[in-house]
Structure 1
Amino acid sequence: MLSLRMDGELLDRLREHAARRGMSVQDYVVRTLVRDDFDERFKAAVDETEKFYGPVPELPGPREDPGPSGTGRGKAT
């Protein structure tokens, strides 16, 4: 159970946002909290992985195939 105390202006704004999505205020708030919590946990997992393995090296960009005429306009790989 979660209990929130908020002023009328904030509640009105939440009602508008929830109504645009066809949701109740309660469902809208819970969905927002779950989404933000996932973002925080994902970032923490990435940070922990980088601590263990080190930072991820930059991947090289696409290379150009010189093409048959050597003009550099062949397929990118």
Structure 2
Amino acid sequence: MGSTVLSLRIDGELLDRLRQHAAKRGMSVQDYVVRTLIRDDFDERFKAAVDETEKFYGDSAEGRDASDHARPVT
């Protein structure tokens, strides 16, 4: 799999917060942002899989929505 460059223009305060979050984890801002995007993408695909499973088998707990399901820990 190759890589592509993505250029962003973001607010200075947001960049400062990203730097702080990344530093707490010993990561670069770039690595922190990429990891966050990957995690978010996984969460969306996981939710879609749960929704499809519930459609197939039926949701045994009436009134429950996707937010009631356990979220994966990353």
TM-score, structure 2 length as denominator?
Answer: 0.70
2: CA distance, partners of 1:18 / 1:24: 6
Q: Residue 35 of structure 2 aligns to which amino acid in structure 1? A: R
Q: Residue 52 of structure 1 aligns to which amino acid in structure 2? A: F
Normalized per residue, the structure richer in helix is 2
Q: Residue 38 of structure 1 aligns to which amino acid in structure 2? A: F
Matched residues, percent identical? 86
Aligned residues between the structures: 57
| Runs of 4+ with deviation above 6 angstroms | none
- The higher radius of gyration belongs to 1
Q: Deviations over 1:6-65 (max 9, x none)?
A: 0111101100110111000000000001011101110110001111121146xxxxxxxx
CA RMSD of aligned residues (A): 1.2
Partner of 2:52: 48
The question of 1:35 aligning with 2:31 is answered: no
Unaligned runs of 5+ in 2: 62-74
The question of 1:3 aligning with 2:7 is answered: yes
Partner of 1:23: 27
2: CA distance, partners of 1:54 / 1:3: 43
